[in-house]
Structure 1
Amino acid sequence: MDTEKILVTGGTGMTGRRLTRLLRERGTEARVGSRTGTPRFDWHDQKTWDPVLEGTTAVYLCYHPDLGFPGAGEIVAAFAARAARHGVRRMALLSGRGEPEAQKAELAVGAEFPGLTVLRCAVFAQNFSEGFLYGPVLEGTVALPAPDVPEPFVDLDDVAEVAARVLTEDGHAGELYVLTGPASVTFTEATRLIGEAAGRAVGYQEVSAEEFVSWAAAAGLPEDEARGLAALLGQILDGRNVEPADGVERALGRPATAFAEYVRRAGAWRS
Structure 2
Amino acid sequence: MTNSAQNIIENGLTLVLGGTGKTGRRVVERLEALDVPVRMGSRSASPAFDWEDETTWAPVLHGVEKVYLSYYPDLAVPGAAQVIAAFTAKAAEAGVRHAVLLSGRGEDEAQECERIVQESGLAWTVVRSSWFAQNFSEDYLLDPVRAGEVALPAGDVPEPFVDADDIADVAVAALTRDGHAGEVYEVTGPRSLTFAEAVAEIGRAAGRDIAFVPVRADEYAAVLKEHGLPGELIGFLTYLFTTVLDGRNVRPADGVRRALGREPADFADYARRTAASGIWNT
TM-score interval w.r.t. the shorter chain? over 0.9
Partner residue in 2 for 1:75? 83
Q: Using CA pairs below 8 Å that are at least 6 residues apart, which structure has the higher relative contact order?
A: 2
Which residue of structure 2 aligns with residue 43 of structure 1? 51
* Correspondent of 2:154 among 138, 146, 157: 146
For 1:230, give the aligned amino acid: T
Is the 2:97–2:122 contact (alpha carbons within 8 Å) kept by the matching residues of 1? Answer: no
Tell me if structure 2 keeps the 8 A contact 1:118–1:175.
yes
Number of residues paired by the alignment?
Answer: 271
Per-residue deviation, residues 47-87 of structure 1 (Å, max 9, x unmatched): 11110001111001111111011110110121111111111
CA distance in 1, matches of 2:244, 2:43: 29
1:264 is aligned to: 272
Pick from 31, 37, 51: which aligns with 1:29?
Answer: 37
Q: Secondary structure at the match of 1:112?
A: coil
Moved more, 199-208 or 86-95: 199-208
- Give the deviation of 1:200 after TM superposition: 1.6
- Structure 1 counterpart SS, 2:15: strand
Secondary structure at 1:229's aligned position in 2? Answer: helix
TM-fit CA distance, 1:3: 5.3
Whole-Å Cα distance in 1 between the matches of residues 52 and 232 of structure 2? 17
Q: Which runs of 4+ in 1 moved over 6 A?
A: none
Q: Give the stretch that moved more between structures: 255-264 or 136-145.
A: 136-145
Displacement of 1:2 in angstroms is 6.3
Give the match for residue 117 of structure 2.
109
Give the counterpart of 2:22 among 6, 14, 17: 14
Q: CA deviation at 1:213?
A: 1.3
**1:250 matched residue in structure 2:** 258
> Among 137, 145, 161, which residue is 1:137 paired with?
145
Letter of the 1:227 counterpart: G
- Aligned-partner residue type, residue 78 of structure 1: A
Task: State the AA in 2 paired with 1:9.
Answer: L
Cα shift at 1:151: 0.8
CA-based RMSD: 1.4
Out of 73, 98, 104, the residue aligned to residue 96 of structure 1 is 104
Relative to 1, partners in 2 of residues 1:88 and 1:219: Cα closer, same or farther, differing over 3 Å?
A: same
Task: Report which stretch shifted further, 194-203 or 174-183.
Answer: 194-203
Asked if 2 retains the 8 angstrom alpha-carbon contact of 1:154 and 1:257, the reply is: yes
Separation in 2, partners of 1:211, 1:222: 16
Structure 2 counterpart of 1:157, one-letter code? D
1:155 maps to amino acid = D
TM-score using structure 1 length: 0.96
**Amino acid corresponding to residue 52 of structure 1 in structure 2:** V
Shift of 1:195: 0.8
Q: CA deviation at 1:233?
A: 2.2
CA distance in 2, matches of 1:246, 1:196: 27
Contact 2:10 2:176 in 1 (8 A): no
Which residue does the alignment assign to 1:63? 71
What's the offset of the Cα at 1:188?
1.4
Name the amino acid aligned to 1:61: L
Measured in 1, the distance between the counterparts of 2:228 and 2:89 equals 34
TM-superposed deviation, 1:114 = 4.6
The answer (yes or no) to whether the contact 1:199–1:270 under 8 Å persists in 2 is no
Residue 218 of structure 1 deviates from its aligned partner by 2.7
Could you tell me which amino acid in structure 2 is paired with residue 116 of structure 1?
W
Is the aligned partner of 1:86 residue 2:97? no
Does the residue aligned with 1:14 lie in a helix, a strand or coil? coil
Counterpart of 2:129 in structure 1 is: 121
CA contact (8 A) 1:213 1:223 kept: no
Letter in 2 for 1:225: L
Compare 218-227 and 17-26 and name the one that shifted more.
218-227
SS in 2 for 1:211: helix
* Residue identity opposite 2:228 in structure 1: G
Percent of aligned pairs with the same residue? 52
Partners of 2:226 and 2:168 in 1: CA distance:
31
